[in-house]
């Protein structure tokens, strides 16, 4: 029986974290999915409502470990880097499609992966077959995939903005990606410096001496055709719970007016259900709680342009795109379970 002929059985591992909870929220409302199990370490028998009261209406209970072989058709892993690789290998061997929302399979270059994510081993053969799931650029490789490496939140926004220029030879050299994220991007575990008192009414940059999402953006630009294109990537924390804005500054190989820049984006995403080119620069709120990405483009000088992209870091930047990837990989309608529009104001 094909997966599309009956409901897809899905499990979420890392259900006590933000990305896992968002995956549960989306999958519970997905018309073609049954959520068969949710897993949190050392939480066997704990009601999900004890961790996330907003999900109390689902009446779900956490289990420890991972689903049994054959129990789930698809397993979403929402774990910190280094914690997914071995689990993914076991689950794939058991026949499940694995969608890793974490970073264990994103960087294809083994040396780069270990330089940024530590020496924890990852299964080579599986790493080689992982599909990097920026859905709009991976649609032909997703069907039949056994492992999807869901992109990072910053790379998703940056690559949606820049890949069309890389693919058309318009990107002259290394662009600057100046990006801002809501605090949920750092995960649920409170760390020093992430409390309300320190974050409220304040904005700061971080990772200036190198951030692990820079090589991921560079890998995506190379995939799109701009090989060897280095990127200056500066993330910022802003005092909001959700939302991510990437403001990308690029030098062009040609003189282009704003209308022509917008046309490059529009031609890259014709009829895309989740990528929208706007005339005015987008705000993060447009995407809040959704899988949508909003782009805009403007000329900023001779052969210079600014492209902005707004997403929800937990939506298109994590769980939303993970569900979109599941849909495409399993031959379901791509928009199934992802109908939500932004809540504005």
Ligand X SMILES: NC(=O)c1ccc[n+]([C@@H]2O[C@H](COP(=O)([O-])OP(=O)(O)OC[C@H]3O[C@@H](n4cnc5c(N)ncnc54)[C@H](OP(=O)(O)O)[C@@H]3O)[C@@H](O)[C@H]2O)c1
Q: Is 249 exposed, middle or buried (0-12, 13-18, 19+ CB in 10 A)?
A: middle
Stretch that binds ligand X, among 10-18, 24-32, 53-61, 247-255 (CB under 6 A): 10-18
For the bound state, the minimum distance from the C-beta of residue 193 to ligand X, rounded and expressed in Å, comes to: 15
Number of residues forming the site for ligand X (CB under 6 A): 27
Among 66, 171, 314, 323, binds ligand X (CB under 6 A): 314
- Measuring CA to CA, which residue among 180, 178, 294 is closest to residue 239? 180
CB 333 within 8 A of CB 283: no
C-alpha distances (whole Å) from 319 to each of 27, 100, 150, 236, 316 are: 9, 10, 9, 21, 7
Contact status: 78 vs ligand X (CB under 6 A) = yes
Note whether 236 binds ligand X by CB under 6 A. no
Q: Are 187 and 17 in contact (CB under 8 A)?
A: yes
Piece of the chain touching ligand X by CB under 6 A; list 1-9, 28-36, 76-84, 226-234: 76-84
Q: Does 130 bind ligand X (CB under 6 A)?
A: no
Q: Which is nearer to ligand X, 21 or 256 (CB)?
A: 21
Interface residues for ligand X in 175-234 (CB under 6 A)? 184-185, 187-189
For residue 345, say if its preceding peptide bond is cis, omega within 30 degrees of 0.
yes
Is residue 41 a contact point for ligand X (CB under 6 A)? yes
> Counting contacts by CB under 6 A, is residue 147 touching ligand X?
no
Q: Which of 29, 46, 83, 112 binds ligand X (CB under 6 A)?
A: 83
Minimum CB distance to ligand X smaller for 24 or for 261: 24
DSSP state of 301: E
The residue at minimum Cβ distance from ligand X is 17
Q: Select from 74-82, 137-145, 222-230, 257-265 the region that touches ligand X (CB under 6 A).
A: 74-82
Q: Which stretch binds ligand X (CB under 6 A): 16-24, 116-124, 284-292, 299-307?
A: 16-24
Q: Considering only CA atoms, which of 158, 171, 140 is closest in space to residue 217?
A: 158
Q: Which is nearer to ligand X, 151 or 282 (CB)?
A: 151
Q: Is 310 in the site for ligand X (CB under 6 A)?
A: no
Where do the H-state alpha helices sit in the chain?
18-28, 48-51, 85-93, 110-117, 124-129, 135-138, 153-167, 196-199, 213-224, 258-268, 320-329
Task: Quote the least distance from Cβ 80 to ligand X, whole Å.
Answer: 5
Quote the CA–CA distance of 249 and 179 in Å, as a whole number: 11
Kindly name the residue from 153, 229, 248, 309 that is annotated as catalytic.
153
**CB-CB contact of 143 with 237 (8 Å):** no
User: 319: which 2 tokens?
Assistant: 């769980």
Window 267-306: residues binding ligand X (CB under 6 A): none
Region of 126 (left: φ > 0; alpha: ψ -120 to 50; beta: rest) is alpha
- 153 as an active site residue: the answer is yes
Q: Which stretch binds ligand X (CB under 6 A): 14-22, 160-168, 250-258, 293-301?
A: 14-22
Minimum CB distance to ligand X smaller for 102 or for 215: 102
Residue 121, CB-side half-sphere exposure with 13 Å CA sphere: 5
341: burial class by Cβ within 10 Å (0-12, 13-18, 19+)? exposed
Contact between 19 and ligand X by CB under 6 A: the answer reads yes
Judged by the rule CB under 6 A, the positions of this chain that interact with ligand X are 14, 16-20, 40-41, 78-81, 83, 101-103, 152-153, 184-185, 187-189, 313-314, 317-318
Q: Return the active site residues.
A: 153
């Amino acid at each position: 029986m094909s997966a599309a002929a009956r409901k897809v059985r899905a499990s979420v591992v890392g259900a006590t974290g933000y990305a896992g909870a968002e995956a549960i929220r989306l999958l519970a409302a997905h018309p073609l999915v049954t959520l068969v199990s949710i897993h949190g370490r050392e939480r066997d028998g704990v009601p999900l409502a004890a961790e996330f009261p907003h999900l109390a209406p689902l009446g779900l209970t956490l289990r420890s470990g991972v689903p049994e072989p054959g129990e789930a058709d698809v397993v979403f892993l929402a774990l910190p880097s280094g914690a997914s690789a071995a689990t993914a290998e076991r689950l794939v061997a058991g026949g499940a499609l694995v969608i890793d929302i974490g970073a264990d399979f994103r960087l294809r270059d083994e040396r780069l992966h270990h330089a940024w994510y530590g020496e924890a081993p990852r299964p080579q053969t599986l790493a080689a077959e992982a599909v990097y799931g920026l859905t709009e650029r991976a649609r032909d490789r997703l069907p039949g995939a056994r492992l999807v490496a869901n992109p990072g939140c910053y790379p998703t926004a940056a690559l949606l903005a820049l890949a069309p220029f890389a693919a058309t030879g318009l990107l002259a050299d290394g662009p600057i990606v100046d990006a801002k994220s809501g605090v949920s991007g750092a995960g649920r575990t409170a760390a020093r410096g992430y409390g309300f008192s320190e974050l409220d009414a304040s904005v700061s940059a971080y990772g200036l001496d190198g951030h692990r999402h820079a090589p991921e953006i560079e890998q995506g630009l190379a995939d799109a055709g701009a090989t060897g294109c280095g990127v200056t990537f500066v993330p910022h924390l802003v005092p909001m719970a959700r939302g991510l804005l990437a403001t990308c500054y690029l030098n062009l190989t040609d003189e282009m007016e704003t209308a022509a820049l917008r046309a490059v984006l529009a031609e890259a995403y014709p009829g895309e259900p989740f990528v929208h080119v706007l005339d005015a620069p987008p705000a993060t709120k447009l995407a809040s709680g959704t899988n949508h990405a909003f782009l805009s483009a403007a000329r900023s000088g001779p052969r210079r342009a600014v492209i902005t992209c707004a997403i929800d870091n937990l939506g298109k930047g994590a769980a939303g795109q993970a569900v979109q990837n599941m849909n495409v990989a399993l031959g379901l309608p791509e928009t199934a379970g992802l109908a939500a529009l932004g809540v504005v104001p």
